[in-house]
Structure 1
Amino acid sequence: MIRWESVAIYIHRDPVDFRQSINGLSIRVNDMMELDAFSGALFVFGNRSRNKIKVLYWDKTGFCLWYKRLEKNKFKWPRKGDSVLLLTDEQFDWLLRGLDIAKLTPHTESVFTDLF
């Protein structure tokens, strides 16, 4: 089971060829994204139509790749910014649920030291 609240989550903003599997995507992580594919982080890739995503990660025994295809809708993919974006676990949940991560921002946390 993936517990993504404790790992880094990187999204590759540009679409990738979905014929690529573990080997091609792990090379893309190391060479194009300039990140360590063995870090345990989640690496999220989307197709050109934005109705499919693949998530690659290393679980200390091997690479895992999961694939999600939407039957009617499209993922709200970030259009601006760097080619590699770091997501929070909350943003990743939003992406999977179809929300636009660029438009949503959570409330800022308040830190108080005194009651009154």
Structure 2
Amino acid sequence: MFRLADDLGVYLHREPIDFRAGINSLAILVEQSMGLNPFDRAVFAFCNRRRTRMKLLFFDRSGFVMVLKALTEDKFR
């Protein structure tokens, strides 16, 4: 488990994404689609079309981190 800082921004990419996308593709989406800097102190959230999976992307001191959460019985709202 990890803890997010109080001053950390959280941004949701509202359109569903292709979940084959990796760190580089998500960083490009942050820049081009969201108009944000992927190196900022922020977490960027992405969902699949069925809203059963979520990917989080953030940059820490040593590089990008991508977290995947898959729900088995429910959906993200």
Alpha-carbon deviation of 1:4?
Answer: 4.4
Alpha-carbon deviation of 1:39?
Answer: 0.3
Q: Where does residue 70 of structure 1 map in the other structure?
A: 71
Alpha-carbon deviation of 1:40?
Answer: 2.1
Whether contact under 8 Å (1:40, 1:60) holds in the other structure is no
Q: Where does residue 32 of structure 1 map in the other structure?
A: 33
Q: Where does residue 13 of structure 1 map in the other structure?
A: 14
Q: Where does residue 47 of structure 1 map in the other structure?
A: 48
Whether contact under 8 Å (1:42, 1:57) holds in the other structure is yes
Judging by fraction of residues, say which structure has more strand. Answer: 2
Alpha-carbon deviation of 1:3?
Answer: 1.3
Q: Where does residue 22 of structure 1 map in the other structure?
A: 23
Structure 1: how far apart are the matches of 2:55 and 2:35? 18
The structure whose Rg is larger is 1
Q: Where does residue 81 of structure 1 map in the other structure?
A: none
Moved over 2 A (4+): none
Identity %: 39
Matched pairs, number: 76
Q: TM-score, normalised by structure 1?
A: 0.63
Alpha-carbon deviation of 1:41?
Answer: 0.3
Supply the AA of the counterpart residue of 1:32: S
Q: TM-score, normalised by structure 2?
A: 0.93
Question: Cα RMSD over matched residues?
Answer: 1.0
